[in-house]
Amino acid sequence: MKGYLIRRLLLIIPTIFISTLIVFIIARSIPGSAVELMATEMETEGMISGGVSVDVDYLRAKLGLDVPMHIQYFRWISAIVTRGDFGASLWTGIPLSEEFGLRYPVTFELSLMSMIISILVAVPIGVYSAIRQDTASDYLGRTFAIVGLSIPNFWVATMIVIFPAIWWGWAPPIEYIPITKNFFGNIGQFLIPATIMGISASAGLMRMTRTLMLEVLRNDYIRTAWSKGLTEKTVVLRHAFRNVSLPLITMLGARIPGLLGGAVIMEQIFGLPGIGRLMVEAINDRDYPIISGVNLIMAAFTLVVILITDISYAYLDPRMKYK
Amino acid sequence: MQNQIKKNKRQPRFVGFFKRLFREKPMGLAGGIILLLALLVAIFADFLAPYGFNEVNMAQVLKPPSFTYLLGTDNLGRDMLSRIIYGARISIIVGICASAMDVIVAVFIGFVSGYFGGKVDLIMQRFVDAIIIFPNLFLYLAVMSVTGPGLTQVIFVLGILSGVGSSRIIRSAVMQTKLNTYIDASRAIGSPHFLVLIRHILPNVMAPIIIIFSIAMGGMIISEASLSFLGLGVPPPAPSWGGMLSGSGRRYMLTAPWMAIWPGLFLSIVVYGVNMLGDAVRDLLDPRLRGGVGGLGEYGVKKAKKALEKKQNMASLNKDK
């Protein structure tokens, strides 16, 4: 167990190092013409005060593109490690750490709510589908899963905005309501996007639950449980589902990147000022420090979540203790 | 005698596969038909579309569906039906090409990493780990912001980045195959690694390869639509279904809801078909689902029924007690 923990923690170092390299390379491979384009855009949009003409060289220096690659990387990494400085927006000059602090609660709340909804929907359907395999209800459950995987989130969201508006003149609130100001307003506002995300995420989760359940149900100890004369409820919940819940938790951890990706689109449609929105805004503005910084933070976050789920798995699964 | 030989001759594998698909997975077959229809529409778009996909007609702006414009027109007076038909082309091209790219990358990484193992594997897997921890849409967006929007870029970005993730499936399949004695035997008679990989490993990991391809396709189509929706996929005026839902599609969605309804509806139908087919293919090919009930079709259903009867009998016996 100890050895496993140490190995698992040590393997993080190269992984995180390579992800910083990836982010760095993406951010530094901005096409040369893009810098010039930015300069002209900055001039025309009057982003720089006083109508001063923007020097391309100045912009290069500001982006840190004027020194050799390895020095650029070193500067960037040491700023992050020593000062927690992920860079600042090219346009507003607001540091990413500050911007991120304002935005992450929205994405966190949205993802958490949708995850809870997806578990509430997927796990019961998945378990039921497995214990009634190849019956009508199983087919219904599986069809639900495939339909859920096939309908794009952004279309469902658009339809939910369109139809109530046409039929009843009702539209979801466009302005963000902070949770500190109006608790129920906030929850109500998040409920629709979180449900859409949750239901589409539940499709994959339901299939996983079903497959895991089917695998577990084939074990000898399930037959033993049946032959002991236990009720179906006990066999399914105590003997089968308990063994499913652990791998399910690991899989939930692995699904977080996908969930965060879905948040980008929901935030965009429902006007929630989260991290996904920040990312899309940064991309539209070609705000490269923000693009790379957000990606790095998201990757690090996912890495930590996967690590926690893996370790808790090892900790909770008695079979792992002897390895 | 001659007839006997003919009878015993094995039919080509894929014929048998389609027969099984037809007999055991009617929903998968339905999905296949949807995909085939979409494919035909994509190929013959030039003949099917009543108007050009970018034929602007300012006199016919935002017209609701009618006989002249079956699905209505958009804010530039372009016929929605024609745009949807040409849009199928983009979705199908992305679906097939990006999934193929996904498989190529997955096979390359999976083969090298799984077959050679050791340090090569350790190092390559760190790169794989480093890429899969990025939330996919965030990474797609960041890379697309560097490459710029475009059909080729979308195919490469989606294919390569998801191929890295799928490589783990190929890797573990290769590692399992590698343990067989015939691999050692082949090496012992002096086959070079390349030959072993192509002649002995590849046929044995064909099932996961086909599964990856068929499962990836629906996801690729949706990802392209999502990227186009966010403005970084296939740029306008190309009629990408995702792109049609963003921009003007959203601006006019309340006055001309058909502009937002049709692209998403057809997108969903095609992806549904692709996923149904992919699911059926996986059920038929996945060895892990064999021997159980899921993968055996008719026989499996019978087996399940028998098992269920047994269970119910047991349950009723218990009640009697």
**b/e per residue, B184-201, with b = 16+ CB within 10 A?**
eebeeeebeeeebbeebb
Reply yes or no on whether the pLDDT at B157 is more than 90.
Answer: yes
pLDDT band at A23 (very low <50, low <70, confident <90, very high): confident
Reply yes or no on whether the pLDDT at A241 is more than 50.
Answer: yes
State the pTM of this model.
Answer: 0.83
Integer CA distances (angstroms), A320 to A245, A308, A315, A317, B31, in order? 16, 15, 7, 6, 42
Give the best residue of A131, A133, A268 to mutate against chain B (max B CB count within 10 A).
A133
A134 and B293: CB-CB below 8 Å? yes
For residues A78 and A156, membership in a common domain is answered with no
Q: Is B81 helix (H, G, I), strand (E, B) or coil?
A: helix
A257 and B145: CB-CB below 8 Å? no
pLDDT band at B33 (very low <50, low <70, confident <90, very high): very high
The pLDDT of residue B296 = 34
In the predicted model, what is the mean pLDDT of chain B? 83
Q: Which residue has the higher pLDDT, B115 or B307?
A: B115
> Hey, is the C-beta of A234 within 8 angstroms of any chain B C-beta?
no
Pick the residue from chain A with its C-alpha nearest to B309.
A132
Please list every residue in chain A whose beta carbon sits closer than 8 Å to the beta carbon of residue B264.
151-152, 154-156, 158-159
Q: What pLDDT digit, counting tens, does each position of A64-79 carry?
A: 667 777 888 888 888 8
Distance in angstroms between the alpha carbons of the first and the last residue of chain B: 62
The pLDDT of residue A254 = 77
Q: Looking at the domain assignment, is residue A135 inside a domain?
A: yes
Most confident of A51-55, B164-168, B282-286: B164-168
B76-96 average pLDDT score? 88
The pLDDT of residue A114 = 92
- Per the CB < 8 A criterion, the answer to whether B99 and B220 are in contact is yes
How many Å apart are CA B61 and CA B256, to the nearest integer? 10
For residues A193 and A235, membership in a common domain is answered with yes
Q: What pLDDT digit, counting tens, does each position of A76-110 carry?
A: 888 888 887 887 777 777 888 888 888 888 898 89
Please list every residue in chain B whose beta carbon sits closer than 8 Å to the beta carbon of residue A155.
245, 260, 263-265, 267-268
Å from A152 to nearest chain B CA? Answer: 6
The pLDDT of residue A79 = 83
> Hey, is the C-beta of A268 within 8 angstroms of any chain B C-beta?
yes
Q: Looking at the domain assignment, is residue A111 inside a domain?
A: yes
**b/e per residue, B280-308, with b = 16+ CB within 10 A?**
bbbbbbbeebeebbbbbbeebeeebeeeb
Please list every residue in chain A whose beta carbon sits closer than 8 Å to the beta carbon of residue B148.
31
Reply yes or no on whether the pLDDT at B99 is more than 90.
Answer: yes
Cβ pairs bridging A and B (under 8 Å):
177
pLDDT band at A118 (very low <50, low <70, confident <90, very high): very high
Q: What pLDDT digit, counting tens, does each position of A189-209 carry?
A: 888 899 999 988 888 889 888
Reply yes or no on whether the pLDDT at B291 is more than 50.
Answer: no
A150 and B242: CB-CB below 8 Å? no
Give the best residue of B25, B127, B133 to mutate against chain A (max A CB count within 10 A).
B133
Q: Which residue has the higher pLDDT, A179 or A190?
A: A190
Q: Is B73 helix (H, G, I), strand (E, B) or coil?
A: strand
For residues A174 and A220, membership in a common domain is answered with yes
Q: Looking at the domain assignment, is residue A90 inside a domain?
A: no
Please list every residue in chain A whose beta carbon sits closer than 8 Å to the beta carbon of residue B300.
134
Reply yes or no on whether the pLDDT at A30 is more than 70.
Answer: no
For residues A12 and A71, membership in a common domain is answered with yes
pLDDT band at B266 (very low <50, low <70, confident <90, very high): very high
Q: Looking at the domain assignment, is residue A13 inside a domain?
A: yes
pLDDT band at B298 (very low <50, low <70, confident <90, very high): very low
B57-71 average pLDDT score? 79
The pLDDT of residue B302 = 59
Which of B245, B272, B292 has the CB atom closest to A155's CB atom?
A: B245
For residues A65 and A177, membership in a common domain is answered with no
pLDDT band at B3 (very low <50, low <70, confident <90, very high): low
A150 and B131: CB-CB below 8 Å? no
SS (H, E, C) chain A: CHHHHHHHHHHHHHHHHHHHHHHHHHHHCCCHHHHHHHHHHHHHCCCCHHHCCCCHHHHHHHHCCCCCHHHHHHHHHHHHHHHCCCCECCCCCCEHHHHHHHHHHHHHHHHHHHHHHHHHHHHHHHHHHHHCCCCHHHHHHHHHHHHHHHCCHHHHHHHHHHHHHHHHCCCCCCCCCCCCCCHHHHHHHHHHHHHHHHHHHHHHHHHHHHHHHHHHHCCHHHHHHHHCCCCHHHHHHHHHHHHHHHHHHHHHHHHHHHHHHHHHHHHHHHCCCCHHHHHHHHHHCCCHHHHHHHHHHHHHHHHHHHHHHHHHHHHHCHHHHHC
Spell out the long-range contacts of A37-43 with Cβ–Cβ below 8 A and sequence spacing 24 or more.
A37/A286, A38/A90, A38/A286, A41/A286, A42/A91
pLDDT band at A322 (very low <50, low <70, confident <90, very high): low
Å from A60 to nearest chain B CA? Answer: 16
Residues 6+ apart with CB under 8 A from B278: B31, B211, B214, B215, B217, B218
The pLDDT of residue A231 = 85
For residues A128 and A251, membership in a common domain is answered with yes
Reply yes or no on whether the pLDDT at A273 is more than 60.
Answer: yes
Å from A29 to nearest chain B CA? Answer: 7
The count of domains in chain A is 2
A149 and B143: CB-CB below 8 Å? no
The pLDDT of residue B106 = 95
Please list every residue in chain A whose beta carbon sits closer than 8 Å to the beta carbon of residue B314.
226-227
For residues A152 and A207, membership in a common domain is answered with yes
Of the candidate ranges A15-19, A313-317, B194-198, B303-307, the one whose mean pLDDT is the lowest: B303-307
For residues A147 and A44, membership in a common domain is answered with no
Pick the residue from chain B with its C-alpha nearest to A33.
B146
Reply yes or no on whether the pLDDT at B225 is more than 60.
Answer: yes
- Per the CB < 8 A criterion, the answer to whether A120 and A181 are in contact is no
Using CB atoms and an 8 Å cut-off, which of residues 41-80 of chain A contact chain B? none
How many Å apart are CA A152 and CA A164, to the nearest integer? 19
Å from A133 to nearest chain B CA? Answer: 7
How many other β-carbons are positioned within 10 Å of the β-carbon of residue A91?
Answer: 18
- Per the CB < 8 A criterion, the answer to whether B82 and B52 are in contact is yes
For residues A77 and A112, membership in a common domain is answered with no
The pLDDT of residue B4 = 56
B268-281 average pLDDT score? 89
- The CATH number of the domain where A128 resides is what? 1.10.3720.10
Residues 6+ apart with CB under 8 A from A260: A107, A111, A275, A276, A298, A302, B135, B137, B138
Reply yes or no on whether the pLDDT at A298 is more than 70.
Answer: yes
Please list every residue in chain B whose beta carbon sits closer than 8 Å to the beta carbon of residue A143.
27
Integer CA distances (angstroms), B136 to A53, A152, A309, B133, B160, in order? 38, 15, 19, 8, 12
For residues A48 and A137, membership in a common domain is answered with no
H helical segments located in chain B:
2-8, 13-24, 26-43, 45-48, 80-116, 118-132, 136-147, 151-178, 181-188, 193-195, 202-204, 206-229, 241-245, 248-251, 258-285, 297-320
Reply yes or no on whether the pLDDT at B7 is more than 50.
Answer: yes
How many Å apart are CA B291 and CA B281, to the nearest integer? 16
Reply yes or no on whether the pLDDT at B228 is more than 70.
Answer: yes
Q: What pLDDT digit, counting tens, does each position of A35-52 carry?
A: 666 666 666 655 555 445
Å from A162 to nearest chain B CA? Answer: 6
Q: Which of B152, B169, B269 is nearest to B222 (CA)?
A: B269
Q: Which domain holds residue A56?
A: 2-83
Q: What pLDDT digit, counting tens, does each position of B100-147 carry?
A: 999 999 999 999 999 998 899 999 999 998 998 888 888 888 888 888
Please list every residue in chain B whose beta carbon sits closer than 8 Å to the beta carbon of residue A226.
311, 314
Give the best residue of A15, A21, A110 to mutate against chain B (max B CB count within 10 A).
A15
Most confident of A70-74, A237-241, A308-312: A237-241
Torsion of CA A291, A13, A260, A241, to 10 degrees: 180
Q: Is B290 helix (H, G, I), strand (E, B) or coil?
A: coil
Of the candidate ranges A148-162, A249-263, B89-103, the one whose mean pLDDT is the lowest: A249-263
Pick the residue from chain A with its C-alpha nearest to B143.
A26
Residue A278: φ, ψ to 5° = -55, -45
B291-306 average pLDDT score? 49
Integer CA distances (angstroms), A244 to A208, A247, B144, in order? 10, 6, 38
Reply yes or no on whether the pLDDT at B294 is more than 50.
Answer: no
**b/e per residue, B153-165, with b = 16+ CB within 10 A?**
bbbbbbbbbbbbb
For residues A7 and A154, membership in a common domain is answered with no
Reply yes or no on whether the pLDDT at A111 is more than 80.
Answer: yes
Residue B200: its H or E element:
none
Reply yes or no on whether the pLDDT at B61 is more than 80.
Answer: no
The pLDDT of residue B215 = 84
Residue B73: φ, ψ to 5° = -125, 165
Reply yes or no on whether the pLDDT at B283 is more than 60.
Answer: yes
Pick the residue from chain A with its C-alpha nearest to B217.
A150
Q: Which residue has the higher pLDDT, A180 or B42?
A: B42
Q: Looking at the domain assignment, is residue A249 inside a domain?
A: yes
Reply yes or no on whether the pLDDT at B299 is more than 50.
Answer: no
B136 and A257: CB-CB below 8 Å? yes
For residues A132 and A76, membership in a common domain is answered with no
Which of A232, A257, A259 has the CB atom closest to B315's CB atom?
A: A232
Q: Is B102 helix (H, G, I), strand (E, B) or coil?
A: helix
- Complex ipTM, two decimals? 0.82
Q: Looking at the domain assignment, is residue A93 inside a domain?
A: no
Reply yes or no on whether the pLDDT at B300 is more than 50.
Answer: no
Please list every residue in chain B whose beta carbon sits closer than 8 Å to the beta carbon of residue A261.
135-138
Which of B27, B229, B314 has the CB atom closest to A226's CB atom?
A: B314
In percent, the amount of chain B with pLDDT more than 90 equals: 31
B268 and A298: CB-CB below 8 Å? no
